[in-house]
Amino acid sequence: MDNNCKNLSVTTVNKASELINPLDEALSLEQAVEPCTMVIFGAHGDLTKRKLIPALYSLYSQRLLPDSFCVIGLSRTQMNHDEFRLSMCQAMHEFADDVPIDKDTLAQFANCLYYLPTNFGDNKAFSALSLLIDELKVKHQTRGNNIFYLSTPPSLYIQIVRQLALASLAGTKSGKKTPWPRIIVEKPFGRDLASARLLNQELHQVFAEHQIFRIDHYLGKETVQNIMVLRFANGIFEPLWNRQHIEHVQITNAETIGVEGRGAYYEEAGNLRDVVQNHMLQLVSIIAMEPPVSLDSEDTRDERSKVLKSIRPFDLTKLDQYIVRGQYGPGCIGGQKVPGYRDERNVSAESQTETFSALRLYIDNWRWADVPFYVRSGKRLAKAITEIAIHFRRAPHRLFHNTREGEALDPNVLVLQIQPDEGISLKFATKQPGPTTHLRWLSMDFAYDTAFGTTTPSAYERLLHDCIMGDASLFARTDAVEQAWELITPVLEAWAAGPRLDFPNYSAGSWGPQASDNLIAGDLNAWRHL
Ligand code: BG6
């Protein structure tokens, strides 16, 4: 039915003169940021080149970094400062597609980059880091504030945290406000409940919770943040945002890409650990949370955490009724033949790793009792799209019964499109012009790019900026991480102990296994055709 919808466009209400000038906004934010050094562990890795350096450069070019700022990159590769600078400038040209590059600005930015070849197990290396930090504190006036970014394989996290403590770099759990240390931890944050708890304990030996910033890049996506604004800055949605008016919620996270050379990592992770435990559950928590008391980071995180705590644990005796999994075989995407998962590099020919999962969740609280939240997520699906669709209850009485069969029965659907083509659309019934009454389902669309005429900043840009500002709202707190693992770990254990599945069970380029359709069909619902 959605395919037949005709699009209406909306215009922004603001007059040009009322729009905020981004530079004015940037200048006012700049006054609030404090000087600091960012120390990146794993600085020669993919994440630094593809995401961190482009995000930092973009902030720098918008004057959103403090004037007194520098970066120290650490990894095992032997390089000097100049070679590191050159390598990061090359990475900018190779990977920063969405960031306009100005040659002079990039050269100035590169002057703030430093490098130290480091073996992370070596105490002496951390003394050398300490000396460099002291030197740059004077040279760049960073006042001793440090952000440590863990972008290494997770197996090194605990070692690095301990080394920071030994070198007296982690600093002030004493409660002194300045200088401050902060630590950013990349996902995966543990691989089950026990390992996540251990990592949290280790971090808490050295850092206070407000100094720990666990990155979930989905929380930094512009459209995800807009969910809060849509829900809590408008008066019209919140009265409808509950079990009385919402029949179910569908979250789709479909990727056309495969494991992209990360077969070894993915074999150990699988879809549930890779995206459901973190990104998907964060989306559920934002959609379902209560209005926070304020935008203070603890208030918003309290509300997200309450949602995770209220998700009904899976009934392990009937697991297949609540969660199903799949693995892609060979297929065709965009006219191109693509290999099956088991044919990817570093993947076992008998792999039982899931590349797809579909879940039916219930949130046991007053607002959401008995409203199913369906979540599907997978690689090598038919289309790359992430969206949240809120399906409202149908009109209670079928007044237009003379219309064509089925056409009056559709529900209103509010779609929050996270990517690509970020936007919001609302599907509703109208009368088709003519002497008889025929209904037509239309969609009223808001698209970010046409409304604002700018590209949306990357999630990393927003998250790095927030960390520099000391705002942890968009980062995962200890309790939320552990609650998510508490939900997911029993499933992983049951799957590991259960019989082997007949994988692959979906073709690349399809919408996943038949079991996913059956899961939702059991409630007389169907996945949206995207
Ligand atoms: C990452 C996962 O966290 O998120 C990847 O490790 C996945 O496997 C990616 O592809 C998806 O992120 P995005 O922003 O492209 O939807």
Average pLDDT over residues 404-411: 67
User: Which pLDDT score is estimated for 453?
Assistant: 81
Q: Whose CA is nearest to atom 6 of ligand 1?
A: 274
CB 75 within 8 A of CB 119: no
Residues 196 and 236 in one domain: no
* Same domain, residue pair 195 and 323: no
Residue 528 lies in a domain: no
Which residue segment(s) compose the domain that 66 sits in? 2-219
Beta strands in 235-317 (DSSP E): 246-254
Q: Are residues 247 and 357 in the same domain?
A: yes
Phi-psi region at 337: left, alpha or beta (left = phi > 0; alpha = psi -120 to 50):
beta
Active-site residue, from 279, 391, 401, 529: 279
Q: Is 217 a catalytic residue?
A: no
Residues 1-25: what's their mean pLDDT? 40
Report the residue among 216, 223, 252, 255 best suited for mutation to probe ligand 1: largest number of ligand atoms under 8 A from its CB. 255
Ligand 1 centroid to Cα of residue 11, in Å, is 32
Q: Is residue 19 part of a domain?
A: yes
What are the percentages of helix, strand and coil residues in the chain, rounded to 5? Answer: 40, 20, 40
Angle, helices 193-206 vs 478-497, to 10°: value is 150
Task: Look at the block and give the residue holding tokens 């059991």.
Answer: 522
pLDDT band at 396 (very low <50, low <70, confident <90, very high): confident
248 and 201 together in one domain: no
Residues 153 and 211 in one domain: yes
CA of 81 to the centre of ligand 1 (A): 31
How many Å apart are CA 47 and CA 30, to the nearest integer? 26
HEC profile of 16-78: HHHCCCHHHHHHHHHHHCCCEEEEEECCCCHHHHHHHHHHHHHHHHCCCCCCCEEEEEEECCC
- The CATH number for 308's domain is 3.30.360.10
CATH number at residue 150: 3.40.50.720
* Of the residues 195, 219, 243, the one at which a domain ends: 219
Tell whether 308 and 431 lie within a shared domain. Answer: yes
Domain termination residue (choose one: 187, 219, 251): 219
Task: Check: CB of residue 451 under 8 Å from CB of residue 12.
Answer: yes
Tell whether 530 is covered by a domain: no
Residues 69 and 191 in one domain: yes
Residue finishing a domain among 201, 219, 237? 219
- Atom 10 (ligand 1) nearest CA: 255
pLDDT score at 402: 64
Strands 438-447 and 423-432: antiparallel
pLDDT tens track for 104-128: 999 999 999 999 999 988 888 899 9
Is there a domain that residue 189 lies in? yes
- The pLDDT of residue 283: 97
DSSP helix/strand/coil, 187: coil
Query: With 50 as the cut, is the pLDDT of residue 8 above it?
Result: no
pLDDT at 416 over 60: yes
Residue 257 alpha carbon, nearest atom of ligand 1: 10
pTM metric for this prediction: 0.91
Flag whether 527 is in a domain.
no
Q: Looking at ligand 1, which atom is closest to the CA of residue 217? A: 14
pLDDT in tens, 27-59: 444 446 789 999 999 999 999 999 999 999 999
The CA radius of gyration of the chain, in Å to the nearest whole number, is: 25
Same domain, 423 and 496: yes
Rounded CA-CA distance 79/68 in Å is: 24
Q: State the Cα–Cα distance between residues 439 and 434, nearest whole angstrom.
A: 11
Please check whether residues 271 and 370 belong to one and the same domain.
yes
Residues 179, 246 within the same domain: no
Pair (233, 202) in one structural domain = no
Please report which confidence band the pLDDT of residue 166 belongs to, taking 50, 70 and 90 as the band edges. very high
Residues having CB within 6 Å of any atom of ligand 1: 217, 255, 274-275, 386
The domain total for the chain is 2
